[in-house]
Structure formats: C-alpha cells, structure tokens
Amino acid sequence: MGYRDTIFALSSGRLPAAIAVVRLSGPHARIALKLLINKEIPDRSPRLVAIKGGDGALLDRALAIRFDGPGTATGEDIVELHLHGGRAVVDAVLATLGAIAGLRPAEAGEFTRRAFDHGRLDLIEAEGLGDLLAAETEAQRRQAIGQAGGGVSHQVATWQDAALNIAARIEAAIDFSDEDDVGDADVAAIHAACAALGGEIGLWLARPPAERLRDGIAVAIAGPPNAGKSTLLNAIVQREAAITSPIAGTTRDVVDVAVAIAGVPYRFLDTAGLRGDTDDAVEAIGIARARAAAAAADLVIWLGDDDAPEHAAVIRVAAQSDRRDGPDWDARVAHADIALSAVTGENMQRLLDLIGERARALLPRDGEVALNRRQRDALAAVADSLDEAVRTRDLLIVAEHLRAALGAFDRLTGRARTEDMLDALFGRFCIGK
Amino acid sequence: MYRAGEMRNYDVIVVGGGHAGCEAAAVAARMGARVALVSFSRETIGAMSCNPAIGGLGKGHLVREVDAFDGLIARAADAAAIHYRMLNMSKGAAVRGPRVQADRRLFARAIQAALAAQPGLDIVVGDADAIVTDPAGTVAGLKLADGSLLSAPALVLAAGTFLGGRLYRGEWSAQGGRTGERAATALGRQLRDLALPVARLKTGTPPRLDGRTIDWARLERQESDRDPWTMAPDTPRRTNPQLFCAITRTNATTHDIVRGGLDQSPLFSGAIGATGPRYCPSIEDKIHRFADRDGHQIFLEPEGLGDALVYPNGISTSLPDDIQLAMVRSIAGLEAVDIAVPGYAVEYDHVDPRCLDRRLGVRDVPGLFCAGQIVGTTGYEEAAALGLAAGANAAASALDRAPVLFDRATSYLGVMIDDLVLQGVSEPYRMLTARAEYRLRLRADNAWTRLGATAAAAGCLGEARRRALDSHRADCARANAVLDGDIGYDATRGRPRDGQRRSLGDRLALADTPFRDAAGDIPALAALAPEAIDEVESDRRYAPYLARQDAELRALAANERIAIPADFDFAAIPGLSNEMIERLTAARPETLGMTARIAGITPAALSAVLVRLKRIAA
C-alpha cells in the first residue's frame, strides 16, 4: 500500500525546547533533505548540516539523519532533523518543507497509520501511541475527565440520534410511501429539523476549542523598546526566561514560555520592542515577528502609551511604576487598566488576576465540555451536510446529504449504521402490510 | 422419466420449487448445466404462498435485476399481472418501485411453462430425505424418501419455510411449511447434523376472504396505472384485464376484539419464541406496540381473475378462528365477510447466512448452496434474487467456471448478499432502498445496463435476451448522442445570456423538463426509444452526486482487492476483543472491504487485521 505523498511534522514536544525533532516520511523524504542541505548524507549516519530556506538563507545548523525504508518506523523513507528548539527556527523549517512539491503536513496520527499499513506496528503498540491527553494542569485534568466521563460523547450521541431520526423520516417516506402511517414527506418540516440540528451544532462549533486548554492561552507582551516587557515576563513566570538589559532592542526574537497560573495553562510571548525607525535588518525582522505574535495571540499585554495594537483582548499596563512620576505618567496611568512594577512586585497579583479573568472567557467554562479538533472537523462536516440538505426539495438528494451527515457521525463514534436508522424508522412508524 | 430406486446424474440439484428454487434451476440450466428440480409436487411449483403481489420498493429493483439475468420472475409477473402500480411515482427515478398484483394461478402456470420449456432441466417429484456427501464432506447428491438417489456435485437448498416448519393459530399448532402442506423435517434435522448454524424465525399471513361477501361499493378504490409499463422491459404488452384494489381500515372495535384475544395469540402466550419482522408485524403486534393509533390501513387485493379469494394486506394474524372472524367483520365493507382460509403464523428453521460465502455456498460443505427464506430472507423477490445467485454459482462450481459475484455498488443483489453473509439476520430480511448506499445508481430502470454485461459473461442470457440487450444498449447510445449534441438548438434566439452553448441534454436538465415531454418539439428525441430516454435522463440528473460517490467507491475498491485467506485465524490477532473475534469468525469476511462493513468492527480492529494479513504475506 504505497502512499504517493510525503508527510512531515514536528514530532517532539511543545516549543520552545532544547531540541525539536522534525520528521519526514514518504517517497520524497530524501529529495527534500537534499533540497534543504544541498548535499547527500549516508543512510543511518547522523551528520551536522546547515539547513537553508528556499531563498538560500541559513535557517539552522542541525543534526540530520536519513533512514531508508522499508526497515523504518513507518516502513517508508524517513528523515529526521534535530533542530534548535526555538519556535521561529521550527516554523521556518516547517514552512520551507511545506513549499516543496509532494510534501504536506501530517494529519494527526498519520505516521502511526502508515506504520500500521506497512506492518510496522501491532495493535498494542499503536494503542500505546494513541492520542492520550496529558493532563498537565488542573484545568486540563478537569477537561480530560469531562471527555472521559462522556460529556462530549453524550452530546454527540444526542445529535446523532436526532440525525438518525430525520433520516428515518425521509427513508420511511421513500421506502414506505404506500403506508398510511407514513404518508407523504413534509419536506418543509424535514428542512426545519435539519436547520435546527445544524444550528445547534454550529453554536458548539463557535465555542472555545479544547486545544487552547491543552496548548495554553497565548499571551503576547508587547510595547515599545525598553518598556520593561522582558522584566515583566520574568516576573510573571518567576524565572530568568528572557535576557533583560537597559539597552533598547535586547529582545530580538519571540521568547515563548509555557507556565500554569492558578491551574490555567498559558504561553507567554515576550516580543521585540516595536518601533518604526530601525535600520538594523535583524531587529526589523524581530519587530515583524512581534507584530505577528501579538496578532495571533489570544490576549495582548500592552506596555506602550496610547497606540495599542488592534486586538480583541488587550490589557493596558503602565509599567515601571517604581521609577516613573509626573503629569505624563499620570496621564498614562489614567489610560491604563493597571499600573505596576515588576521590580517591586506592586500590583503584580492584580495583573495576574486580571489575566485570569480575561482567560476564563477564552477557555471552555468549567462544566462546559469543549470539542477537540477531530470532533470539530467531523461536526463541521455534519453541519455542512445539513446545510446542503436544506437547499434541495428532492427528497432523494436530501437523503444523500443526511447519509453524508450520518457518515461523519460514524467517523466520530464508529457506531451508527443503516440498522440504527431502521430501528428509528420502525420505532416511529407502524409499518406493515 | 425417473423411477424409484434408479440413480441419475446431474450437474446441479435444486431442492424446492418456490421462487428461489425455480430461478436457481432455470439459471443453472441456461448456463448449460444438467439440472434436477426436486419438489413435493408438480402443482405447487411457482406457488405464491403469501400476498398476491410481486415487486415494490427495493423488491421491484430485485425483480428487474433477476430479469437482467434473463430470469423468470419479471415475465411471469407480467403474464399474471392484474393490476400495475409504480410506487414513488412523485419521487426520484432511483426509488420508483414497480409492483403488480398477480393472479396466483397464472403466475404458477407461467413459471411452470418456462421451466418446461427450458432445455436441460428435469422436474423430479419427490421428498428430499438427505443430502449425500462424500467422505471428504463434499456434496455428492441427494437421497429421496423412496430410497432413490440423484447425484450431482452441486446442490441448491431452497426449501423455504418447510424446514422444521410449524404453523400456529390460536392454541392450535401443527408441523408444516404452508397451510395444507407437510414440512421437510428430515432435511431440517440433517442441517443441524451438518453442524450448520440453524436458528428460528417467524412470519405470518392474514386470513383469506371470500370476495363475494365484501361490500366493494363502500370502499375506496385503487385502479391499475394507466401508463403501460411492464415488469420485464421486453414484455410486449399487458395481456390480462386489470382489476382494482380497495382500501379499508381497522377501527376501535377491531382493536378491542384483538386486544381481547391477545392471551390466545401464540405470539403473546409464548408459544412462538422466534423473532418476526419489524416491517410486517401481525395485527396483534401493531395494536400492542402502537396503541395510540386509531386505525390501520388494509389493502384488499384480489388473488386472481377466476378466483373470489381476496388477500387483506395488513392484518396478518395467528388469533383463533372465531376472533379472526369477529375482527374482520368489525371492519368497514367486511361486515358480512366470510373467511375462506384463516390466517396463521409459521415458525421455521433458517441457516445463519454468515456461514455462507459470497456465492451463497456453505463454507464448510463444498458444493452446497442455499437460497431464499432458508437463509433468513422474506419475500418472493428476495428469494428469486438469491435463487438466481445461488443457481448461477452452483452451475459455475459444477461446470468449473468463475463464480458469479455481486457488488454493493452495482446491484441490490450485491447489497442483500453482502448484508446477509456479513451481518447475519435478527429478523426476516427484506430489501429496502435505504439499505443501498449507492441507490442513486441502482435504479429499477437501468438494471439491464448495470448487470447485462455480467449476465452475458456468465452465460446466463438466452439468445433472444442477448439480442434485446444489444438493441437496448444501442438505443441508450443513440439517446446519449442526441442529448450530447445541440440538435434543436434555436439559433434564431441567439446565444443564451451567459454566452454558453449547451448540449440538448444540459438545456433540458437546466430547464427541469422531463426529457420525454420535450420530444413533442424535438423530432430527434421523439425518434428514440422512450425507455432509453428515461434511463439516460436519470443518469444525467444524478451525475453530480454519482461523481461525488466515485471517489468514495475508488477508496473502497482498494480494500475490496485485499483478500483474506479462507484459513485466516482472526483469534490469533493480538489485542482484538473477544466480541470482535466472535463477529469476525462468524462472518468470515473474504476481503478487507467486507471486514470493514461488519457491524461493530472498529478502524483499529481493521488495521490490526490488515497488519496480520501483511505479516502472513511477508
């Protein structure tokens, strides 16, 4: 069973880390490696190599290992890149790989699937590699319990039953149209039922995703140079995660620190100071990344004056209260949500409370179960099919869309089949001549 | 003619002269096998033991598929039809179901005539006593009750409800397969001795009414369709006078009478333990399970032209005689009705179809094939279709030819066989269009096109049908050529607003005009065969949805090509749960694709099967 495309993914843990392992598997793995390092290396022999991007710029000096198939973990040609574990480096390498024809990011579990298909794993091993949620924090633990306790599966089962019932009404009208207990299908009522179910699923899809709980809420600390961003970060995470100095532009890349505060997981991102007039090319790149990080973050802590970035969730901080005063400072404090000093610790607890308060809105509420990526994808497919079902009056085509929706549910629960629909049908209608 | 004590050699023996047995014997003979059809009596061959109708939703599709193999049932239905009705006429072509009311005597006569005219087919009147196997356990022939022996390397068992059959009515019960006929109990015992998995199912039938005592004038009438379609596309015309059916309903009094008798119904007294069908409940069941309904519809169906018997469809029952009579007389139009034959329930043996392979061959007894009610189905059409498949494969096996396999994506027959051999049955299996995931392509109107090539390659088609098939194909090709062209394109109106020049077919589809209706304006269309226009029109209307399914089908086909060896040990797969092993071992899927379709098999289990297969291959 040969796969034509080559997949790649970060296969080590969350960044930043000392080392990040990016793995490629598939027929193009060796060619991709050659494109990255511009030379051949021997099979199963680690080499220190210079990895270059598509434009020839050096991305990282890293360890590369080539494993030729089929005697590999997946049964295919595999390449491993042991990179320095900064987010920027890894992102750049992944972006470069994604631009190579025949390569694409792996879907969840895809390496395992290939290993399976090539007979490289038995079931026990595969299940050992299963997508188990590591409950690193209290909130994740609660969420994990919510899932295991069937919060999501109970809800999904309820929707699946609703879809089965709609399908049963349609199938009854098709297969038993000559029965008086069934009669002609009320297409408008079927449309309304589809729309109601689709709408309810849509509401759930709009909720915060479970990933935010697993990966942490991204909080970007941003502001002009020398505003004390790195000092604030270190004070929040309570260690010297970022280098601080009085020199403007000390932080050039995005520093990414994972930490749990009061049981909530966060990723704090310290960013380069934002200024428009630098002529240092490296600093300019850092500034661009800072803006991108702030835009992508769930929450921005802004240490500047008045020109805070456009963002849905911003906490304005008047920092360095230990060494500021005067009318300008008073004006700043008036515009800010909070004035504090990372050095003396003044108002630091209040900041953490404020962050916690904003974070709660971004996380699934306690007791409210969240959907993970796989569930969201399947349910989005259900919602799409229901949406299409409403657009046609041809009962047979409505039935096709319902079949697609039930298929998506099946992928999620592996449960319902035609028999379940028939159970719903015969339970609802008195059929029989 | 055959004499007691004599031994005769055949290629295929068929036991049972019902719908399954007749199709099995006929197709095997068409394929060139020497066939013996064994039946209790010559007169009951081709008998319709339950309702006098052929076809319907899903069932009409099966009839057309059997017809695509040059089978008997569609033409016999036309010869006997006294009322035609196309179900779902207002819905899409894929789910239209042709159905006829058939005169019982004309139907049996047509079947008997077709069998008599079939070269290579002997009818042997006798009582099947035992299947004879050689020391290796392979089928060698059949022993009859008079001691004589028929030898053949392949045998199709199509004994219907006669194996271990037991009839029930009120507190009365007796052995038998059909009212007034005996059961084939010796053979039933042998099936258990052969260690085949045998279980019980039940079905029932309503009382037959004397039509001369029905007040027809009071009742709503349902007339035969005017549109002159026929069950077999090549039947030249309808031959019989057309009768009407009538509709009446049960009422509160009826329900009270039934409720009052429930303790005397074997269904409720516990005498019958077997499972009956959900879609064909007895009137006792209907009133018990749907207590809120104030009435249930009854179709009064004439049993024949020269026959006063009427079949009241919808009130199958096994209540005692007096309650049956009180019940029917409480119904509008039936106040003075006489019951000619009371209704009854029948409990019978069936073989768990999971012991069969895709050819309907019993996996553990080479040469033995099963078809019809004995494998857990209900209905003439299901039986005929399975008979066709079993007969064709029995002949292929005896004549050393390739098996004749059916696919879910191309036939209802494929859906049914796949469902039966993989999932088994928990109630008598009835075909429904809902069971076919590719039903948009499995239409009653394109059965010849879907299956003609397979049927021809297997040698199932007679000379006349081969010519008719060729001519139908040419008709469809001509229709496609006309519709792909821009004949009838009105140049005087200039270019259409969006500037696209479309084919005739696209324009008609866009205008949502039935293609036939446009024939009045477009002579090129009027010159085409109407059936070909209809078929090609449906192809075009469903094309976008069919294209979407194509990708799915291609993905499935890959799994279908991965074969699982007959001696594959599912229990040896590490990590599989006992429940999973049990399901896999009972069904013994022949391909990875079949494995995936077994209920309850998870993707992880499927991967484990695949891993194991690869390991064995390596």
DSSP string, B560-590: HTSB--TT--GGGSTT--HHHHHHHHHH--S
pLDDT at site A370: 61
Judge: A431–B278 Cβ closer than 8 Å, yes or no: yes
Q: Identify whether the C-beta of residue B78 lies closer than 8 Å to the C-beta of residue B231.
A: yes
Relative orientation angle of helices A395-413 and A373-389, to the nearest 10 degrees: 170
Judge: A119–B313 Cβ closer than 8 Å, yes or no: no
The Cα–Cα gap between B302 and B51 comes to 10
Residue B94 with chain A: CB contacts under 8 Å = 396
Residue to substitute from A170, A179, A422, A433, interface B, most B β-carbons within 10 A: A433
Residue B586: partners with Cβ closer than 8 Å, 6 or more residues away = B197, B352, B354, B424
The Cα–Cα gap between A401 and A371 comes to 23
pLDDT at site A367: 52
CA distances from B93 to A274, B61, B415 (A): 66, 11, 19
pLDDT band of B415, cuts 50, 70, 90:
very high
pLDDT at site A186: 84
Q: What average pLDDT does the segment B202-225 reach?
A: 93
pLDDT at site A128: 33
Judge: B435–A418 Cβ closer than 8 Å, yes or no: yes
CA distances from A20 to A17, A51, A83, B96 (A): 7, 14, 5, 61
pLDDT at site B618: 62
What DSSP string runs through B275-330? BPPSSS--HHHHHHHTTT-S--EEEEEE--TT--EEEEET------HHHHHHHHHT
The Cα–Cα gap between A363 and A265 comes to 10
Q: Say how many CA atoms lie within 13 Å of B570 toward its Cβ.
A: 24
What DSSP string runs through A306-349? S-PPP-SSEEEEE--TTS--SHHHHHHHHHSSEE--TTT-TTHH
- Classify burial at A366, counting beta carbons within 10 Å of its beta carbon; exposed 0-12, middle 13-18, buried 19 or more: exposed
* Nearest Cα residue in chain A from B616: A119
Q: Identify whether the C-beta of residue B575 lies closer than 8 Å to the C-beta of residue A127.
A: yes
* Nearest Cα residue in chain A from B51: A433
Judge: B575–A400 Cβ closer than 8 Å, yes or no: no
Peptide bond into A70 cis (omega under 30): yes
Q: Set out the domains of chain A in order of their start, with CATH numbers.
A: 6-121 (3.30.1360.120), 124-208+371-414 (1.20.120.430), 213-360 (3.40.50.300)
Q: Identify whether the C-beta of residue A329 lies closer than 8 Å to the C-beta of residue A313.
A: no
Q: Each residue of B14-44: pLDDT tens digit?
A: 999 999 999 999 999 999 999 999 998 999 9
Give whichever of B1-5, B16-20, B188-192 has the largest mean pLDDT: B16-20
pLDDT at site B376: 93
pLDDT at site B339: 97
Query: Is residue B190 pLDDT above 70, yes or no?
Result: yes
* Nearest Cα residue in chain B from A167: B434
Residue B608 has its nearest CB partner, among A123, A397, A417, at A123
**Average pLDDT over chain B, rounded to an integer:** 89
pLDDT at site A132: 27
The Cα–Cα gap between B166 and B182 comes to 10
Residue A417 with chain B: CB contacts under 8 Å = 599
Q: What average pLDDT does the segment B274-298 reach?
A: 85
Quote the tokens at residue B320. Answer: 């005692």
Residue A430 with chain B: CB contacts under 8 Å = 281, 286, 289-290, 293, 296
pLDDT band of B556, cuts 50, 70, 90:
confident
Judge: A400–B58 Cβ closer than 8 Å, yes or no: no
Q: Which of A174-188, B154-168, B199-213 is least confident?
A: A174-188
More confident residue, B89 or B578: B89
Query: Is residue B558 pLDDT above 90, yes or no?
Result: no
The Cα–Cα gap between B249 and B474 comes to 48
CA A33 to chain centre: 27
Give B208's DSSP letter: E
Query: Is residue B492 pLDDT above 60, yes or no?
Result: no
Is A105 an 8 Å CB contact of chain B? no
Is A123 an 8 Å CB contact of chain B? yes
Residue to substitute from A1, A117, A396, interface B, most B β-carbons within 10 A: A396
Stretches where chain A sits below pLDDT 50 are: 1, 122-149
Rg (chain B; Cα; Å): 26
From the list B528, B429, B428, B409, the residue with the least C-alpha distance to B480 is B528
The Cα–Cα gap between B112 and B174 comes to 29
pLDDT at site A136: 30
Is A176 an 8 Å CB contact of chain B? yes
**Ramachandran angles phi, psi of B281, nearest 5°:** -70, 155
Q: What average pLDDT does the segment B412-434 reach?
A: 93
Q: Each residue of B309-319: pLDDT tens digit?
A: 999 999 999 99
* Nearest Cα residue in chain B from A117: B611
From the list B304, B294, B313, the residue with the least C-alpha distance to B247 is B313
Residue B575 with chain A: CB contacts under 8 Å = 122-124, 127
Q: Identify whether the C-beta of residue A277 lies closer than 8 Å to the C-beta of residue A262.
A: no
Give B429's DSSP letter: B
Give whichever of A288-302, B271-285, B546-560 has the largest mean pLDDT: A288-302
Judge: A395–B289 Cβ closer than 8 Å, yes or no: no
Q: Identify whether the C-beta of residue A68 lies closer than 8 Å to the C-beta of residue A33.
A: no
Q: Each residue of B333-346: pLDDT tens digit?
A: 999 999 999 999 98
pLDDT at site B82: 95
Residue with tokens 């599709």: B61
**Ramachandran angles phi, psi of B377, nearest 5°:** -95, 175
In this prediction the pTM is: 0.76
Is A2 an 8 Å CB contact of chain B? no
The Cα–Cα gap between B299 and B243 comes to 13
Query: Is residue B88 pLDDT above 60, yes or no?
Result: yes
Q: Each residue of B447-476: pLDDT tens digit?
A: 999 999 999 999 999 999 999 999 999 999
Strands B166-169 and B172-175: antiparallel
- Tally A–B CB contacts below 8 A: 114
Residue A110 with chain B: CB contacts under 8 Å = none
Query: Is residue B46 pLDDT above 70, yes or no?
Result: yes
Q: Each residue of B235-248: pLDDT tens digit?
A: 999 999 999 999 99
More confident residue, A203 or B391: B391
The Cα–Cα gap between A83 and B568 comes to 46
The Cα–Cα gap between B59 and B325 comes to 31
The Cα–Cα gap between B275 and A287 comes to 74
Q: Identify whether the C-beta of residue B12 lies closer than 8 Å to the C-beta of residue B154.
A: yes
The Cα–Cα gap between A295 and A158 comes to 37
CA distances from A397 to A392, B9, B610 (A): 7, 53, 35
**ipTM of the assembly?**
0.83
Longest dimension (CA), chain A: 93
Q: Say how many CA atoms lie within 13 Å of B292 toward its Cβ.
A: 4
Residue with tokens 């018990």: B288
Query: In residues, how long is chain A?
Result: 433
Peptide bond into A364 cis (omega under 30): no
pLDDT at site A143: 47
Q: Helix H segments across A390-417? A: 395-413
The Cα–Cα gap between A352 and B386 comes to 73
Q: Which of A356-370, B51-65, B316-330 is least confident?
A: A356-370
pLDDT band of B531, cuts 50, 70, 90:
confident
Quote the tokens at residue A1. Answer: 């069973």
As a whole number of Å, the end-to-end CA separation of chain A is 49
* Geometric angle at alpha carbon A158, from A157 and A163, rounded to 5°: 95
